[in-house]
Amino acid sequence: MSKSEDSIFKHHEHALEKAYETCPTCGAELSIKHGKSGSFLGCNNYPNCEYTRPVVEHEKVEDTLLAGTHCPLCDSTLAVKQGRYGMFIGCTNFPECEHIEDTNQNDDMDVHCPNCAKGKLFEKTNRYGKTFYSCDQYPSCKYVINYQPINESCPECHWAILVSRKMASGDIVMCPQKKCSFKRKVI
C-alpha cells in the first residue's frame, strides 16, 4: 500500500471514531446527517437538542506575507489569506483597507464597449464557472454579454459589435441586440 493510500485510510478511520461520540449538550449519541450544505454530525435527540458539528474540521491557514508587494490603496504589504470562499491575496491593513487583488480577470479582447465607447470588454468568470464579457469601466458602465464579442459592427442595425455562438447547427456570428435579427454561419 502506498504512503498516500495509507494516509487516506487513516483519515477515514478517525472520521468513524468521531461518528460514535456523544452529544456534549445532552449526552445523546451523535450521528452523521446530510443537509443542503453537506454532511455533518448532529444530535439524535433533535429537535429537543440542536447540537451540530462539521464532520471534517478544516484547519486555519496562517496569513503569508508577500515580501516586496504593496497595496495600491494604502501602501501596506499584501498577504495570502484564507476566507470563506478560499484563498485570496489581500491587504494586511484590513479592516481599515479592504483591497483584494483580482486574480480572475483575464486579458482584454481589444473590443471596445459598444455601450459607453470608453472602456474595453474583458473576459471574466462568475462564481459558478460560467464565462461572460463585461466593460472595464464598471460600475459607471454595466454592459455585459454572455457570448464572445467580435470587433465587427452589425451590417443591419450598425451596433458596434457582433457575438460568436456555438449552436447545434454549427457556429454562427450574430448581433447581440434583441431587436436585430442579423445572423450568419461561420465558414
CATH number at residue 39: 3.30.65
Is 27 found in the same domain as 89? no
| Contact criterion met (CB below 8 Å) for 120 and 135 | yes
In this structure, are 132 and 181 located in the same domain?
yes
How confident is residue 16, by pLDDT bands cut at 50, 70 and 90? Answer: low
Grid cell of 164 as nine digits: 460568436
What domain count does the chain have?
A: 3
Whole-angstrom distance, CA of residue 56 vs CA of residue 36 = 16
For 128, other C-beta atoms within 10 Å of its C-beta total: 5
Q: Are residues 129 and 173 part of one domain?
A: yes
Give tens-digit pLDDT for 86-127.
678 888 888 888 888 766 555 556 888 999 988 888 888 777
The domain of 45 spans: 3-54
Same domain, 174 and 140: yes
Instruction: Count other C-beta atoms under 10 Å from residue 108's C-beta.
Output: 14
Tell me, yes or no, whether 81 and 124 share the same domain: no
Does residue 174 sit in the same domain as residue 128?
yes
Domain end (from 101, 131, 160): 101
Residues 51, 45: Cα–Cα separation, whole Å? 9
25 shares a domain with 7: yes
Specify the pTM: 0.45
Kindly state whether residues 78 and 117 are assigned to the same domain: no
Residues 134 and 172 in one domain: yes
Regarding whether 63 and 49 lie in a shared domain, the answer is no
Cα–Cα distance measured from residue 33 to residue 160, given in angstroms and rounded to the nearest whole number = 54
Q: Judge contact between 52 and 42, C-beta under 8 A.
A: yes
Q: Is residue 175 pLDDT above 90, yes or no? A: yes
Judged against a pLDDT cut of 60, whether residue 26 lies above it is answered with yes
Q: Residue 84 above 60 pLDDT?
A: yes
173 and 127 share one domain: yes
Lowest pLDDT segment from 8-22, 23-37, 48-62:
8-22
